[in-house]
Structure 1
Amino acid sequence: MRIDIWSDVVCPWCFIGKRRMETALGRFEHADDVEVHWHSFQLDPSHPKGERTPTFEILARKTGAPPAQLRAMTGQVTELAAAEGLSYDLEHAVSVNTIDAHRVGHLAAERGLGDAMHERLLRAHLCEGELVDDADTLARLGAEVGVPEEETRKVLAGDAYRDAVHQDFTDARRYGATGVPFFVINRAYGVSGAQSAETFLSALRTAHADRAGK
């Protein structure tokens, strides 16, 4: 079985969705037969490359909400993340253009480290306030999961994997994804959003039964 997941490394719901999917896989009878493939998505592709803006400032612009209301909103998400074992620090998160982070994700995937790299990038942005568009930071994070630092720097110095990232964007649109996380099981069953582990488990079992029936 195959699970394709579209996600952005600055998306709080994507990390929650990742954990819930992992919980479902832990309860799925055929988890050993499942392959997970991560795909790039940008929540805000218009964010200027090189511009770094506190996430709270961006939320304030988009919603017009006062600081107290913003903290209440993000506090709810932080509580949901905590229920999945994640320690968010959204007040220190900095929004950036994520194209380079996704290119590093593709590099890691070629080494069989796609899941570990995506996990590290999500944690870096959402929990640690790291700048996930910074070349030094990306090289260090890649090295932490097993991607040689010199390979990451070589990729970031050029345009490697840019076409692959944009192909992911195209594929997401083809499946009708307008937001993330977005999961496709066996290229047939779509699950949109950070659904409950029970919902994911049901989808996995349905997809497996359908495949077995064929």
Structure 2
Amino acid sequence: MATSQKQLKIDITSDNICPWCYVGKRRLEKALSQIDKSNVNVSISWYPYELDHGLPQDGSLLKMDRYKQKFGEARVKQMVPQMTETGKQEGINFSFGGKIGSTFDSHRLLHYVKQQENGEKKQNDLINILFRAYFEDEQDLSDHQVLTKAAEQIGFNGNEIKQFLQSDQYKKEVQHEINQSQQQGISGVPHFRINDKIELSGAQDPQQFIQAFRKAGVNV
């Protein structure tokens, strides 16, 4: 008789312009690679967060200018080399040129993708493309052309995506999820909730994730 699979449900609250969210995703993947997938059913869902409420809803700013406004020049001088080095360790080539704007529409696109067939996998694939586009290719995630191209890379029709982005579809749902995260006390990202009971904040090392999996009842 076949043994029933253990469930490993991971809910991730993240913003697409958060460098630690990109790092955290890579470290989570390292931890997941150590799991025997024949005995464990892993499901991952992404939830929206807006890290910088001051970003323009229409248009964008130079990324480095915004960092300096927000953190001050001295701190940015420290942060950039540290982040670059951390990225290298995870196979990420952080680049800090380009523009930054509201991430709300990119979250709407992720919500849209999740509603489609095989949506969980597509959402995860799209997250990878958005992170790479913003952090490594210096693309602006508030630009609908960038978002449309990203969706096309995972098999979506470009014209349909353009129409969706120009509409109001899922605006209320995404705003509700952002509000819900705040009500749950999530004040920073990435935030990971494992099997609805174990919570981790920040880009933890793979070993921390493995300990959390064990606490959640999944042997690794």
TM-score normalized with structure 2 length? 0.88
* Residue identity matched to 1:150: N
In 2: Cα distance, 1:167 partner to 1:190 partner: 21
Matches within 5 A, 1:96-107: 96-107=101-112
Quote the offset at 1:209 in angstroms. 4.9
Percent identity over paired residues: 29
The C-alpha deviation readout for 1:124-180, integer Å capped at 9, x for no partner, is 111101111111111111101122212211211111111221122122123311011
1:117 and 1:64 map into 2 onto residues whose CA distance is 32
* Distance verdict in 2 for CA 1:72–1:125, change over 3 Å: same
2:142 is aligned to: 133
Q: For residues 24 and 155 of structure 2, what CA distance do their matches in structure 1 show?
A: 24
Q: What is the CA–CA distance in structure 1 between the aligned matches of 2:71 and 2:141, rounded to whole Å?
A: 24
Name the residue aligned to 2:5: none
1:89 and 2:98 are equivalent in the alignment = no
Is structure 2 residue 114 aligned with structure 1 residue 109? yes
Which residue number corresponds to residue 84 of structure 2? 78
Unaligned runs of 5+ in 2: 1-7
Amino acid at match of 2:113: A
The answer to whether the Cα contact below 8 Å between 2:141 and 2:147 also exists between their aligned partners in 1 is: yes
Instruction: State the match for 2:50 in structure 1.
Output: 42
- Structure 1 unaligned spans of 5+: none
Q: Which of these residues, 143, 159, 164, is aligned with residue 155 of structure 1?
A: 164
Counterpart of 1:85 in 2: which secondary structure? coil
Between the aligned partners of 1:5 and 1:64, the Cα distance in structure 2 is 29
Indicate whether 1:205 and 2:214 are aligned: yes
Mapped contact 1:28–1:205 kept (Cα < 8 A): no
Q: What is aligned with 2:72? A: 64
Deviation at 1:93, TM superposition (A): 3.7
| AA aligned opposite 1:109 | K
TM-score (norm 1): 0.90
Give the SS at the match of 2:216: helix
**Higher relative helix content:** 1
* Aligned length, in residue pairs: 207
Instruction: Give the deviation of 1:34 after TM superposition.
Output: 1.1
Opposite residue 103 of structure 1, the aligned amino acid is R
> What do residues 90-139 of structure 1 show as CA deviations (whole Å, max 9, x unaligned)?
2x142110111111111111232110111111111111011111111111
Query: Which deviates more from structure 2 when the two are superposed, residues 26-35 or residues 107-116?
Result: 26-35
The RMSD of aligned alpha carbons is 1.7
Q: Whole-Å Cα distance in 1 between the matches of residues 195 and 179 of structure 2?
A: 18
The residue type equivalent to 2:53 in the other structure is P
Kept in 1: contact 2:87–2:93 (CA 8 A): yes
CA distance in 2, matches of 1:2, 1:147: 26
